[in-house]
Amino acid sequence: LAFARALGGPERVFVVSGGAQVELAQVFADAGVADVFAAILGSPVTKDVHMTSVLTARGVAPERALLVGDGRGDWEAAAKVGVPFVYLAEMSEWQAAPDLLGPDVAVAARWVDLLAAAGL
């Protein structure tokens, strides 16, 4: 949450997930953190479609955005839209990631490493 808040929180940070949007919204609301994000977006709409919609609506070029994710679907969606990707290895089940990700993908082992890299 510190990372999301530092990047602008409800003004600039979106959750884009493959999980069901209705369920995600409830989980974030129940946890009391829904207001940290501009929107919580999930299925049935795909991640790449959500990202494209958000970028278009906000007038943001893909290269000025960032997707932090822990799975192959995140990486593929970011690549499809042209958004830089940071692979977050913590709690990821995507074991092949280190072998597939290219030199243009940043890797953070844990959230705390990502926060440190961002100076937070």
Q: What is the pLDDT along the chain (120 residues), one digit of tens a residue?
A: 777 887 777 788 899 999 999 999 999 999 999 999 999 999 999 999 999 999 999 999 999 999 999 889 999 999 999 999 998 888 888 877 777 787 778 888 888 888 888 787
Number of separate domains in the chain: 1
The per-residue pLDDT for 118 is 78
The per-residue pLDDT for 100 is 76
Show the domain range for 49.
2-117
Q: What angle do CA 10, 107, 39 make, to 5 degrees?
A: 15
For residues 70 and 98, the answer to whether their CB atoms sit within 8 Å is no
Neighbour count for residue 72 (Cβ, 10 Å): 16
Backbone angles phi, psi at 43, to 5 degrees: -70, 155
Output the domain CATH number for residue 34.
3.40.50.1000
Q: 67: helix, coil or strand? A: strand
DSSP state of 27: H
